[in-house]
Amino acid sequence: MTRAFVAIRPPDAVLEEVDALSASLDLGGARRTTRDQWHVTLQFLGNSADVDAVADALTDVRVPAASARFGGLGAFPSNKRARVVWLGVAQGAELFDALAREVGERLTPLGHVPEARAYHAHLTLARLKTPADVRAALAADAAAVGDAWLVDEVILYESRVRRTGAEYTPVASVSLAPRG
């Protein structure tokens, strides 16, 4: 049993653009996530995932591949009292929603029930220990970040928490069928 999650990893060219945007944001003492940590989570599985069973459950995901593009900045729970600063999805939100829904349906029988709150596709850029007002920092124009890319793979990651931050290791991947 291990700490794990299911996610989408953007291609390196897109992550270059995310890196440039992240570096341009004045987030004070926020702990920034690193490029190796960047992904869009579909479902967090907690600390006791049977990764072999999860990988088996995901083998034939039916959602077809489609394009996505990052855009829009925000924070949870709000820009005025931010704990997490994120980059949103400007194109392809319906794809991420469909993938999260199907992953949830496939993993619920294994005891991995999706969160009750609505799914919100995003890439975490930074975390703050103390809530802070980040409205000025997030006023940057981030309507579209990087090029659109083809989301054609879902990845199961193992997560290890370290003093230096979390380390994510791909355990299994599932290719999405071409649209058509």
Q: Between 166 and 136, name the one with better pLDDT.
A: 136
Q: For residue range 77-108, what is the model confidence (pLDDT) as tens digits?
A: 999 999 999 999 999 999 999 999 999 999 99
pTM listed for this prediction: 0.94
pLDDT tens-digit readout, 7-33 = 999 999 999 999 999 999 999 889 999
* Predicted confidence (pLDDT) per residue in 109-139, tens digit: 999 999 999 999 999 999 999 999 999 999 8
Q: Is the pLDDT of residue 180 over 70?
A: no
Q: Which of the four pLDDT bands, split at 50, 70 and 90, describes residue 163?
A: confident
SS3 of the chain: CEEEEEEECCCHHHHHHHHHHHHHCCCCCCEECCHHHCCEEEEEEEEEECHHHHHHHCCCCCCCCEEEEEEEEEEECCCCCEEEEEEEEEECHHHHHHHHHHHHHHHHHHCCCCCCCCCCCEEEEEEEEEEECCCCHHHCCCCCEEEEEEECEEEEEEEEEECCEEEEEEEEEEECCCCC
